[in-house]
Structure 1
Amino acid sequence: MPASNPVHPSPRTSPATGLQGARRRIVFVGLYEFIAIISASLLFMAIGQEAAASGAMSVVASTLAIIWNVAFNHLFERWEARQAVRGRSVLRRIAHAIGFEGGLALMLIPMMAWWFDVGLWEATLMEAGLLVFFLVYTYAFNWAFDRIFGLPASAQPVRVAASGA
């Protein structure tokens, strides 16, 4: 009798490949926010805000975004791990980007109104401009990050391996 049945192998997940766990989150957040600070500062200056206020607001927003990023991605990956379909489809990536950026916008609009001494409507318009940029940036950054460092364990397909006994 053979040691394993190739027709009905016992399912076993292979170890996750690529950058994983806390190290993945730290590298992800660090790279994402470094690029985001530079981009946001330039975008604020492009709409007429002073360089110092733009840079400071970008750093403050980045700090808030880091906290939100860690919390949101932790929750997203917990949800993702429970899904029957693995991998990161275009729809799942869009949902991730909208969820992250939408939650961040709810926090940043009042902060920008206060920081730049503008009304909520003007801050909302500022955030809308940033949102358009950051929705594209978030999608592209996540795609590139996954291509370079591999998918997180929560999104990797389950591999079936034959058991040896």
Structure 2
Amino acid sequence: MPASQSQKNPSNPATPGLQGPRRRLVFVALYELIAVAASTLLFMAIGQEVGASGVMSVVASTLAIGWNVTFNHLFERWEARQSVKGRSVLRRVVHAVGFEGGLALMLIPLMAWWFDVGLWQATLMEAGLLVFFLVYTYVFNWGFDRVFGLPASAQPLPAVSPQG
């Protein structure tokens, strides 16, 4: 086997790359670090105070971490059972919508309470954040997979060689 094929290449989605719990930990840490900074700036952009924005971002991030681990575990269990492997645009969109939709159900009441606004205003705030985070989630997942390779659940099954 040529050396180029025997080495792991994390940018090649057909190679193992980063897998298992370590993959999830790196994924969540990078995703949330960027998300806390971005959401703090977004809360401030819609008129919230710096301190309240930062605290809400950290609390939202903590909730998101728990949801991220849970959702991705369930998604990858479902994905592993699918006959078509890989991550198509549709599968990535379903992943992003499922993750962000579940998170929104938790965050809307929390934001209403924290910022002392009604559920409607919190829903509008979340809608603005949701637009940003839907795009961010899709782009982050795509980029993460390009850098670290696809998870085992999305990799093609190895070809079965005939026994001679």
Alignment deviations for residues 66-112 of structure 1 (CA, whole Å, 9 cap, x no partner): 00000000000000000010000000000000000000000000000
What is the alpha-carbon distance in structure 1 between the residues aligned to residue 15 and residue 64 of structure 2? 27
Give the CA deviation at 1:159: 1.6
Residue 48 (structure 1) aligns with: 47
Partner AA of 1:58 in structure 2: S
Residue 4 (structure 2) aligns with: none
What is the alpha-carbon distance in structure 2 between the residues aligned to residue 161 and residue 28 of structure 1? 32
What is the alpha-carbon distance in structure 2 between the residues aligned to residue 163 and residue 33 of structure 1? 46
What is the alpha-carbon distance in structure 1 between the residues aligned to residue 30 and residue 40 of structure 2? 16
Identity %: 77
Unaligned residue ranges in structure 1 (runs of 5+): 1-14
For the pair 1:160 / 2:156, whether they are aligned, the reply is no
Residue 125 (structure 1) aligns with: 124
Residue 147 (structure 2) aligns with: 148
TM norm structure 2: 0.89
What is the alpha-carbon distance in structure 1 between the residues aligned to residue 74 and residue 15 of structure 2? 19
Give 1:7-18 correspondences, 5 Å limit.
17-18=16-17
What is the alpha-carbon distance in structure 2 between the residues aligned to residue 90 and residue 16 of structure 1? 20
Count of aligned positions: 151
Give the CA deviation at 1:162: 2.0
What is the alpha-carbon distance in structure 2 between the residues aligned to residue 65 and residue 109 of structure 1? 13
Question: Residue 85 of structure 1 aligns to a residue in which SS?
Answer: coil
What is the alpha-carbon distance in structure 2 between the residues aligned to residue 77 and residue 66 of structure 1? 16
Partner AA of 2:35 in structure 1: A
What is the alpha-carbon distance in structure 2 between the residues aligned to residue 127 and residue 32 of structure 1? 18
Residue 85 (structure 1) aligns with: 84
Higher Cα Rg, which structure = 1
Given that 1:37 and 1:59 are in contact with CA atoms closer than 8 Å, whether structure 2 keeps it comes out as yes
What is the alpha-carbon distance in structure 2 between the residues aligned to residue 73 and residue 163 of structure 1? 35
Question: Residue 32 of structure 2 aligns to a residue in which SS?
Answer: helix
Give the CA deviation at 1:161: 3.9
What is the alpha-carbon distance in structure 1 between the residues aligned to residue 162 and residue 147 of structure 2? 31
What is the alpha-carbon distance in structure 2 between the residues aligned to residue 36 and residue 163 of structure 1? 48
- RMSD between superposed Cα atoms in Å: 1.3
Give the CA deviation at 1:16: 6.1
Partner AA of 2:45 in structure 1: A
Give the CA deviation at 1:36: 0.2
Given that 2:15 and 2:149 are in contact with CA atoms closer than 8 Å, whether structure 1 keeps it comes out as no
